[in-house]
Structure 1
Amino acid sequence: MTQDLERILMKNDLSDEEIVTLLGLTDPEDCRKLQERAYALTTERMGPNVYLRGLIEVSNICTANCRYCGIRKSNQTVTRYTLDEDVIVGCALHAAEKGYGSIAVQAGERRDEKWIAFIERVLRRIHAETTSDALPNGLGVTLSLGEQTLEVYERWAEACGNPGGLRYLLRIESSNPTLFHALHSTPGRFEKILEHRYEALRNLRRAGYQVGTGVMIGLPGQTLEDLKNDIRTFQMLDADMIGMGPYITSLGADMTSEGMMQKTPLLQLAFNMIATTRLVMKDVNIATATALDTLDPNGRVGGILHGCNVVMPNITPQATRKSYQLYDNKAGTEVGAESNILMERKIVEMTGRTLGLNRLGSSLHWVRRAGVAPN
């Protein structure tokens, strides 16, 4: 494999068969070569910085019933909450003071006007109150608030007030229609349909966002061919950023009986997927997922070593973090915001990277398409 692998790793464009080969690597030496190539390409195309996105988990109230998720509507054991407007803005101010450059606003999925207007109002305040000499356009904002209409995306984009740091993460979870349906097959007011997901991603592009998507890795019934097709879907969508991680079961979900992969092979598969996505997509932002740390204490370090260039320290008030468990044993729920930024600094230093403080860290893929200066 070694000579063939070295040839594959140096190619600019990979075939479907070659992508499947890289995803399926298990030999430690082969995996090391893949990791080193992905890290080198990240340095070459993206530079040495790892960018911060301070994660604010605004609410765990959700109208959806996705079978894999711990905050699904039907989970009666979770304590529901929505953070106060002042608390959310306070988290954003903390991020700005610590040099994060950007935040990520995440919540369960809702589409009622009261919620839409609440988010709009919060975003206006965040922009107004974080504009400074260090951040002349305020914090960059990544929203992860599910499928909405084009009009809602446009309202939130205008409220963010920072078109150079405007991002939205809407994961597809799987591009395999059968798998997607199995993950979202519970009937409800907002039952998920894969084509609707794609239309929402197209609407995000129309509304001016840097568009992010991603999948779960190691799903029951998922194949290497499925993961290869996921990467091809990222290309088809012309994604600017990717957020993906290993599938981990949740006791509050509806899939525990289907089990999950053993931790060691699952972690390697996740690393292979990250590295291969970097080789194919080249200049997109890729976040190192907290779920990697749930599999291994140095999981996010491994993510950066395999091609990730974004970290997302949790700056949500500690009192509510245990109520935002999308999967079991989520890492980072026991430490406060101050400890998290120190942890991220340590993680980045361990990988030979530097923190891109007071930088929006926008996707270079988007920067080149938009014809603007890197920020």
Structure 2
Amino acid sequence: MASKLLNMVALSSLAVLAVTFGPASTNALSTGHSHMARHIDHAPIAKRRRDTSKRCKVRSSTLSSEAHSSTAQAQTTAKALVESSSTQAAPATTKAPTKTSTPSAPASTQGSGAAGSGKFGQKGSKICNAWGDGNDLASLKAFKTEHVVGLYDWGVDKPDGADDLGYEFWPMLWGGSQDKIDAFEKAMSKDKFGTIVLGFNEPNEQGQSNMDPETAASLWKQHIEPQVAKGYKTCSPAMSSRPNGKQWMSDFMKACDGCTIDYQCVHWYDIGFDTLKTYLEDYHNQLGLPILLTEFADQNFNNGAQATQDEIFQFMGQALKFFDETDWILAACPFGVMHDLQGVNTLNLLQKSSGGPTDLGFMVINNSY
């Protein structure tokens, strides 16, 4: 009986991993990661509400030098950000060698966000808002706590009052269309506009920015790389959790010869904390870069059962704790601060129709795990 139980557990574990890392299946995931139903172009949504070797060179990260050491070293270093009970990923691979100098703090010459406080990326300061409420100042204030560091809106329409409230704004070049490029270039000509430039939104998805790695690398060199000289940090194109994302990112890094990539952006939608943890560790091992998780939710896009409310709260508590205890997680943005999650299980909502946080939103912005 015991052996049968162990076999069942093993098979269940393999099934979970297969959903995230296995080949694209014929279900909705294979037609655009199936969160296409929700994942239409986010930037216009926010705007409507507002207006009515020569590998990529990797700059020093914001994290301590222990970020790419082994788990044992991290646990014995007093300055390590990871608690001894946390589970760490393997050391950084040689695919993206880092400089040997001591990493510096994030650039604080842009905007008035938490980077200037020296807390960004450290325990208790890793929440960011994936923002869909435009210039709703009351909501903007309601979702800003000492734990919430960054804010982005899938574009360059920085909400009024973001700087005064202490948000770091992270402008994004969403895709390669001329209107996106023109809006990005115009916004980036402003002084003190933001702190981290985010790369393209899910270019591995046909329903999103949808471009091949070589095209993305060319656009990066033309429009994102020049921002480095202005003091901006950079975050890679954000992969969806579709299995083709890892290969796309690998090809992009090869094509982006001479590019400066400070952080790696990724998205994740699936069920259960263990699946998220495995996914993030796998991506971190690929390049050894600090990770910005710019979208995530305990959401099933594979036609299976959705998580219950209790399961979502349990998931979020485990995730928040993991982010705090993992030095290579720079920040994480639950999807999303908006009234309509566009196809995502509404139990994941962070915002009430009245504008303030739901119980789940309150848990997130107060880092209450």
Query: What TM-score, normalized to structure 2?
Result: 0.45
Say which structure is richer in helix.
1
- What is the TM-score when the length of structure 1 is the normalising length? 0.45
- Which structure has more relative contact order (CA 8 Å, sep 6+)? It is 1
